[in-house]
Amino acid sequence: MRLDKWLWQARFFKTRADAAALIAKGRVRVNGARQSKPGHGIAVQDVLTFPQGDAIRLIRITALGIRRGPFAEAQTHYIDMDAAPTPLE
């Protein structure tokens, strides 16, 4: 699957063009390697690193989506490796 399409389907960007523009600037890394082509192929278990707002996101792909569905569905396609740990009770 194309990198820009996956980022859009996983709801990290509002439009596919926004995702493609960030990739074209060389601001997205796949498994630590900088990418500059929006059509770069990705696979399950790839790790993506990219800026979003004021944060740097570190995401592991767990599934390749078929469509851009609701946010809850999109969250099942990745693991946020920067997520804060839940406090112990």
**58/74 Cα distance (integer angstroms):** 16
**20/17 Cα distance (integer angstroms):** 5
- For the record, the structure tokens of 21 come out as 């523009």
Q: Which residues contact 9 (CB under 8 A, 6 or more apart)?
A: 65, 67, 68, 69, 74, 77
pLDDT at position 54 is 87
What does the pLDDT look like over 66-88, one tens digit per residue?
999 999 999 999 999 986 555 55
pTM: 0.89
Per CATH, the homologous superfamily of domain 3-80 is RNA-binding S4 domain (3.10.290.10)
Domain boundaries, the chain: 3-80
Output the DSSP codes for 66-88: SS---HHHHGGGEEETTPPPPPP
What does the pLDDT look like over 13-66, one tens digit per residue?
999 999 999 999 999 999 999 999 999 999 999 999 999 988 899 999 999 989
